[in-house]
Amino acid sequence: MCKLCDEGKPQNHDYDDKPEDHSGSRRDFLKTTAAGAAAAGAGLFGARPAAAHDDDDRRGPPEDHGKHRRRYVIRGGSVMTMDPNAKETEFPQADVLIEGKKILHVGPNIHAGDAAEIDARGKIVMPGFIDTHHHQFETALRSFLANGVLIDDKSGSKSAMPNYFGFILLTFAPVYRPQDVYINELFGGLSQLDDGVTTVHDVSQIHHSPQHSDAAIQALFDTGRRAAFGFFESAGAAVIGTNPDNKYPQDAPRIKKQWFSSSDQLVHMIMGGEVYLGDPSTQQSWTIGRELDLQIAAHILSPFGIRPIMDRLANNDGGDKHNIGIGRDNLFIHMTGMSDMAWDKVLAVGAQVSIAFPIEMNMRHGMPPIIRMQMMSEAAKVPFEPSLSTDVECTMTADFFTQMRSAMNLQRLVVNQMILNSPNGNQNLPDPRNWELPQSAVTVPGDFPYWPTPPAGIPAPLTTRDVLRYATINGAKALRLEKKTGSLTPGKEADIIILDPTRINVAPLNNVPGAVVSLMDRTNVETVIVAGKIRKWKGQLLDVDIRQLRRKLEASRDYIFSKAGIPVDLFA
């Protein structure tokens, strides 16, 4: 007890149980316990009690972090490197040494000379998350469409009206000014940085003029995180004809030259090649993109009538000259409702697939195609996995813990039901439209007649490590960034998050991948590092005045709603 507290003068006791010397006996104790656990064949990545530590919240970040040749070491965290090529990728306790913007070394007890230290004991250290499809320009519209589906289905339901196509694209998007684009992009980007998402593919379909494009790109640079600028169409405005200054797609060479002539910067460019805009647009955008050696990304989903278009592209019969085909340079978003033939081609050419699990489930894109990808991978004996994407915050959070949990739960829902429906070798294997237990259910002998052993041909349930892989290294591959980011690998740039499992929603730590995927949210994202530079420290974003930016975003929201003729109705 504290005398001063008792006398009614509350004291800050944050430090009371801290070790005085960071290199002292407490660390030795931890080393001993970690070594002991390893010797017993168990570790934090299996199941083992953790030694948790409070942290020294008053220390500032290491000086000159991210600057050329400047070194610091992240000490003593539980490290997941996510490096698919490394022999050892998970350490109950290890260090990460950073020099300038790059990772120099990962491993236990690194000798780091006089490098500054970040104490990560009791914390989790892993690569930042990578979002391969996010419409950041819609940040001012957050929660507006929390019930909406893609297109008015004429049902008169609250999901049909308002809907995404009619309101977000045709009503709100056309009124955006360049300054709206800037603050929406910046705020949405900082918000995800706060959540540990260190890389984004921003699908900015808001290019009503070159000024709009430049505002979007400037915001991506100003956010200070890794980003792919996706140069897409002038959404909505192109349909209703209110964009006389529209320069999509022919402005792409100018944009690439002006903004992306260096590969040694945080932001690079992807060409948007939407195929529902019509064959002439596909011809033009894909041709320009390929001439510029850019990846070509497109939303691929049956609700917009894309299935037959995708079939033609799979046959190298796309565009109005019938010579556009899909290739390794494609990044396909959603891939819901496509034909077996198109899928075979996507796998064969090595194109990338981005799945937006929560949004696809919520907004009627169709079943997220994870089971299909697993079955194709198994049959072809080659890896075939998605990356994850948040899509639109008008309907769903861009939080990545939600992404990973949704991916895992959706897949497990389907697989678990397939198993329950398949006793004694598939007798009850359902029509995918009927995943409930059939009326004439066959059972298995024993104490648990409704709990069959999984028959052959049903994929393994996704695990926490699977979705962590989707959320990190797969995203880097999907954006052609795997040489730069996506794992904690010496030589790659230091895009690192430190997660705090000592908080009330996670402690005690018993399993590292499990804690991250199953329990955490953004309150556990303690520190965020992009290319060696610390952007969030001890729970606070650095170098940003969020209150001021929020006011600007609210002013933008007021303008957009008013110009679009939609009242702000907090209980609509």
At closest approach, how far in Å is the CB of 392 from Zn ion? 6
Stretch that binds Zn ion, among 185-193, 313-321, 389-397, 515-523 (CB under 5 A): 389-397
Q: What share of the chain is helix, strand, coil (3-state, %, to 5)?
A: 35, 20, 45
- Minimum CB distance to Zn ion, residue 460 (Å): 29
Q: Which residues in the 458-517 window bind Zn ion by CB under 5 A? A: none
Cβ(113)–Cβ(124) below 8 Å: no
* CA-closest candidate to residue 232, choices 209, 211, 204: 204
Nearer to Zn ion, 358 or 423 (CB): 358
Q: Both ends of the chain: CA-CA distance in Å?
A: 52
CB of 77 or CB of 162, closer to Zn ion: 162
Q: Which is nearer to Zn ion, 235 or 346 (CB)?
A: 235
In the complex, least distance from residue 333 CB atom to Zn ion, rounded to whole angstroms: 6
Least distance (Å) between residue 335 CB and Zn ion: 12
Question: CB under 5 A: which stretch of 220-228, 243-251, 391-399, 440-448 binds Zn ion?
Answer: 391-399
Q: How far is CA 502 from CA 21, 437, 505, 524, 541, in A?
A: 21, 41, 8, 9, 20
Of 206-245, which residues contact Zn ion (CB under 5 A)? none
User: In angstroms, rounded to a whole number, what is the distance separating the alpha carbons of residues 38 and 27?
Assistant: 16
Which segment (155-163, 268-276, 362-370, 384-392) binds Zn ion by CB under 5 A? Answer: 384-392
CB of 148 or CB of 513, closer to Zn ion: 148
The owner of tokens 């309150």 is 523
Which 3 state secondary structure label does DSSP give 318?
A: strand
For Zn ion, the binding residues in 189-208 under the rule CB under 5 A are none
CA distance 497 to 469: 15
Site string for Zn ion, 508-537 (x = CB under 5 A): ------------------------------
Nearer to Zn ion, 129 or 304 (CB): 304
The residue among 83 and 202 lying less far from Zn ion, judged by its C-beta, is 202
Nearest distance from C-beta of residue 143 to Zn ion, angstroms? 17
Q: Which residue lies nearer to Zn ion by CB, 233 or 391?
A: 391
Do 440 and 292 form a contact (C-beta atoms < 8 A)? no
**Closest CB 359 distance from Zn ion, rounded Å:** 8
If one asks whether residue 251 binds Zn ion (CB under 5 A), the answer comes out as no
Phi, psi of 375, deg, nearest 5? -65, -40
CB-based contacts of 526, cutoff 8 Å, min separation 6: 55, 123, 498, 499, 500, 536, 538, 539
- 274 is an interface residue for Zn ion by CB under 5 A: no
CA atoms in the 13 A half-sphere facing the CB of 544 = 22
Build a one-symbol-per-residue string for 347-376: x at contacts with Zn ion by CB under 5 A, - elsewhere.
------------------------------
Measured distance CA(489)–CA(474) in Å, rounded = 15
User: At residue 38, what is the residue type?
Assistant: A
CB 435 within 8 A of CB 418: yes
Shortest CB 77 distance to Zn ion, Å: 34
Nearest distance, CB of residue 299 and Zn ion, angstroms: 5
The residue among 297 and 553 lying less far from Zn ion, judged by its C-beta, is 297
The residue of the chain with the least Cβ separation from Zn ion equals 391
Number of residues that bind Zn ion (CB under 5 A): 1
**Residue 391 interacts with Zn ion (CB under 5 A): yes or no:** yes
CA distances to 2, 275, 338, 412, 414 from 367, in Å? 59, 21, 11, 13, 10
Work out how close the CB of 394 gets to Zn ion at its nearest, in angstroms, rounded to a whole number: 11
Residues that bind Zn ion (CB under 5 A): 391
